[in-house]
Structures are given as C-alpha cells and as structure tokens.
Chains A and B, each alone.
Chain A
Amino acid sequence: MTLDEIMEATEAQMLLEPPFDINLLSACASDLMSDVLLFTKPNMLLITGLTNPQAIRTCDMAEAPAVVFVRGKYPPRETLELADEMGIAVLLSPYTMFETAGLLYKAGLKGIGKLPIIRQQR
C-alpha cells in the first residue's frame, strides 16, 4: 500500500515525505515499542499514539519506512528532526488508533496474523 492510499483511507496528512517511494506490506498498531519490535517485519507501517523520538528510533531499528501518528497528535520537534535524519515518513491521522487501524485494514493493509498465546505472569 502506498502512502497516498494510506492518506486517502485515513484522511491523514503528510508531515514529512519519504526520500523514496515506499510500498508498505503490513502494519502494526501499538503504543508500546517493545511490542512493535516483537512483531516487526520490513516495510511495515507503524501506527502509534506515541509521538516521542523513540517511535522513530523503533521505526529505524525495525526498518519501518513510515509512521502514522493517530488521533490528531502533532509530534514534537525532536521527533521530526530524528525522522528527517533517518528518512522516515511521518503522517498524521485525525482518527483514533482503533479507527485508523480499522480503516487501513478495510483498505487492504495486512497485519501480521495470529501469534501464540503466551501466559503472562505479573
């Protein structure tokens, strides 16, 4: 899925353009970066409400070429600077994480499928 298609599906605006044309194969929606890193696949879109620079770091580590910040959140300057330096595209969606993800799923963007259920101990 191209960024244009993502913008159309979610009424998102592009805050930072990618240096290359990119084609996203899957997406992951989370505010917890370790969860993202666990699910990561190349050419994945990150959908998150976390607007601090760690979201961009996570994209860089995971080779996710684009991030959508949800519910109309505008990222701080240091996040944008890092995204520019790392060449990661930044989009802003006016919808919540749930709705942004839902709209993209409906438009045909895949997730990563089923994962085994792990018993979590607290």
Chain B
Amino acid sequence: MKREFSFLGFTGRGGALSKIHELVREMKVARVMTSSFYSLAPTATMKELEDLLREHRISGAPVVVNDKLVGIVSIEDLIHALERQELDAPVADFMTSEELILARAQEPVMEALRRFEQTGIGRMPVVNGQGKLVGIITRGDITMALLHALQDLYTEAEQIQDRAQFFFDALESEATSLQLRYTVEKGNFARGGDASAKIKRALLRIGASPQLSRRVAIATYEAEMNLIIHTDAGGLILADIQPAEITVVAQDSGPGIPDVELARQPGYSTATSAIREMGFGAGMGLTNIDRCTDSMSLWSVEGVGTRLQMVFKVTPAETGESERDCEAT
C-alpha cells in the first residue's frame, strides 16, 4: 500500500470527511439520473410495451403526453395484460397514473434515496419544476454516482498530498516549518474562533491526528477569545508547525495582566457581565489552555502587552491511546 504523505507523520482524514458531508448533502438528483430513457404514449399497446421491455432489458417505462408524465407502466402490468390476454389494449388501461412516486430534478439525492427505502420501489421517473419528464433514477444510479464521486475525492486528496510531498521534499533546511499568521480584532465576536478553526483545518489537512488538531484548536480558541475580550487593540496569532512540535503564540500590545499568577487561578476572571452573557469570562480560559498544551508560558507587563506561548508535542499515532486529549479525566 502506498504510504500517504503527511507533514506531521499522521494521515489526516478530517478534510476528506467533510467533503463527503458536502457530497451527500448537496448532490442533486439531476446530476445522478439517466436522462436518456424509453417512454411510451398512452395509446401504445401492451404488446409494444412487451417489445420495449424485452429489447432494452428494462422492467418498466414512463408514459408521457407532450413530455409530461402521465403514468408508469411496469412488467407487473404486462403480466396482468397477459393473464387477461389483452395485449392489444392501450397502455393507458394498465398503467399506474395516480399517486405516482416521483423524484424531482432539483432535490438532493438523499431525499430520493429515502423514498426508495420507504416505498421499496426500484426506479423513479424524474420531473422538473414544470412536471416535465427529464429522466429516470434507480438505486444503482445513486450508488454509482456516490462511488464515482468518492473516487474523484480520493484522487484529488492523493494529488494534494503528492504536491505537498514534492513541496516539502524540495526544501532543504535543518528544520522546515510551516507558519500561519492571523490578525485578531478587538471586540469582533462574530469572527471569534475564525483563526482557531482555520488552524484546525490546516492541521487536519497536512495530516495531524484529530486529537492533536482538537487540543490545538481548543487552546487557540481560548487564546483568540482572550485577544478579542481583553486587549486594547486586538492582537496576533502565530502558529509554527514542525514535524515534532507545534507552537502557537498569541500576542498583543496591551493593556497587560497586572497579576499573572492570579489570572492563572481557575475561576478568576475580570470579564464584565456583558462578556459573560456572550458565553465567556468563566475564568477557565488559561486553565483550559494549560490542559491542552504540553507546555505554556505567559509573559505580561502592564502597559506593554501580553505574550502567551503554547507548545504541543506531536506524538506518534501508534501511541494514540496515551496521547493527551483535552478531555476531562
């Protein structure tokens, strides 16, 4: 098996998974259905239906008038006609024309799949917004489309990893690291967590384990909210990613923390009630950060600024069980 490249020595799957999310949620019936199909007019005879089914090895056909769907006729209807020896009768006499089970071209594939499961039928005609017949969808179409899409995703992921490998292999240095930099605005709660979410996605993308990405994200999120809540003018978040170690620094230029030891006490907070109403200011931020990091250092001078450095060791995937996680123990 081909060893998948990853900068951090792990194989990340978070990115691919969220793409499957998208795929399953967003894929429309129109993309999956077969748009070439055989149909019959209501005036066609049951004998013509028999020929059509036999010739094309299908088990049913839609019945249309001026492109509009008026019914469905299946192999079961043909058997009825054979039993009654009425092969010369028009399709209209045997077709199902009421309470047709349909798929709509613009609905998600998941909806169609649900209907297949609820009704137990094998195929559905697909109509557009005007009720015009535009295709046929089977369970097999959905399976094939999803398999193909998965294949594409997989190929794409492989290409990204190949490119990343090429990129890092081409660089010669004693220690190569990837640096990410984010500006955090004071008081911008709407964007709070943006930088942390981006760091988390980046880590997953370059192959960090979900546990590692999570503890980096949680600690960085706390630091990011501190910049938003407590600083005079916002600050910076810098992530330095190396194969064995990730360092995230959150720094600002004031006001500084008067008593760092006190600030580190669990439950100590200077947040206003307005901040608490927004869900922050529990006084647990630094405690949380401490839990999630392998080491942290907090430097602060009143009137100068604060620098919080958080270090996360990249532990091998094999020892995943002993890997620290930001969980209550």
Residues of A in contact with B (beta carbons under 8 Å apart): 19-20, 31-35, 37-42, 48, 50, 52-55, 57-58, 60-63, 78, 87, 112-113, 115, 118, 120-122
Contacts and interface: CB of A to CB of B under 8 A. Distances in A.
B170 to A, nearest CB: 34
Given A32-B279, A34-B288, A112-B328, A57 B21 contact: no
B190 A121 contact: no
Interface residues of B, number: 39
A87 B18 contact: yes
Nearest to A52: B278
B280 interface: yes
Contacts of A53: 189-190, 192-193
A78 B217 CA distance: 21
A19 B21 contact: yes
Interface stretch (B90-98, B246-254, B259-267): B259-267
A79 B18 CA distance: 19
B218 A33 contact: no
B25 A60 contact: no
A54 B189 contact: yes
A89 to B, nearest CB: 12
Interface in B43-83: none
A31 B21 CA distance: 29
A62 B218 contact: yes
A50 B189 CA distance: 13
Contacts of A118: 266-267
A5 to B, nearest CB: 19
Contacts of A55: 279
Contact of B328 (A33, A42, A115, A121): A115
B226 to A, nearest CB: 10
Contacts of A48: 279
Contacts of A31: 279
B317 interface: no
Interface in B307-326: 326
Contact of B284 (A38, A41, A54): A38
B285 A34 contact: yes
Main secondary structure, interface of B, reads helix
Given A52-B189, A120-B283, A121-B267, A34 B21 contact: no
Given A34-B284, A61-B200, A50 B279 contact: yes
B196 A61 contact: yes
A78 B190 contact: yes
Interface string B273-317: 000101111111101100100000000000000000000000000
A120 B276 contact: no
Nearest to B285: A34
A41 to B, nearest CB: 5
Given A33-B279, A54-B189, A118-B266, 7 more contacts: A19-B22, A37-B221, A52-B189, A57-B221, A60-B200, A78-B190, A120-B266
A35 B285 CA distance: 9
B233 interface: no
Contacts of A57: 192-193, 196-197, 221
Contact of B265 (A35, A38, A39, A120): A120
B265 A32 contact: no
B280 A37 contact: no
Contacts of B174: none
A37 B218 contact: yes
Given A40-B218, A120-B265, A121-B268, A32 B282 contact: yes
B129 to A, nearest CB: 23
Contacts of B189: 52-54
